[in-house]
C-alpha cells in the first residue's frame, strides 16, 4: 500500500487548506458546576510551507514541545520528577503561543469554545 501512496515530502508544497488540533475537556469549573470546553489551534499549510518548509500537521505537532521546552528552559514551568503537560499552568503556554513573533512569541492564535 505504501508504494501506491504519494511521498509525503513531495506533496506538502502542493497541499492547500488548514488543520485543526484540539482537545475537548470535561470536568468541574471553579464554581463547582460541570464544565466542558473545546480548546483548539488552526494551522494553514500554505503558511507553514512558506515559513518553515513543513506541512501544517508536522509543524503543528512540533510547535507544542518547542513552546514547552522554552517555558522549562526559562523557568516559567518547573518541577521535580516526571510531569506531564497537565501538571503545568496552561496560561503561560497559551500566552507564548499567541504572542506576536516581534515580542518573542509564535504568533499563533488559539480558540476556546464553551460546550
Give the Cα separation of 39 and 48 in Å (integer). 21
pLDDT of residue 64: 93
pLDDT of residue 1: 79
CB half-sphere exposure, 87, CA atoms < 13 A: 10
Write out the chain's pLDDT in tens, 115 residues.
Answer: 778 877 777 777 788 899 999 999 999 999 999 999 999 999 999 999 999 999 999 999 999 999 999 999 999 999 999 998 889 999 999 999 999 999 999 999 999 999 9
Amino acid at each position: 500500500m505504501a508504494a501506491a501512496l504519494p511521498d509525503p515530502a513531495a506533496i506538502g508544497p502542493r497541499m492547500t487548506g488548514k488543520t485543526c488540533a484540539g482537545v475537548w475537556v470535561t470536568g468541574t469549573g471553579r464554581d463547582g458546576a460541570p464544565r466542558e470546553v473545546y480548546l483548539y489551534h488552526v494551522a494553514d499549510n500554505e503558511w507553514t510551507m512558506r515559513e518553515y518548509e513543513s506541512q501544517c500537521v508536522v509543524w503543528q505537532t512540533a510547535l507544542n514541545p518547542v513552546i514547552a521546552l522554552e517555558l522549562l528552559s526559562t523557568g516559567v514551568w518547573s518541577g521535580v520528577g516526571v510531569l506531564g503537560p497537565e501538571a503545568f499552568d496552561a496560561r503561560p503556554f497559551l500566552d507564548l503561543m499567541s504572542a506576536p513573533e516581534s515580542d518573542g512569541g509564535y504568533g499563533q492564535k488559539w480558540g476556546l469554545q464553551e460546550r
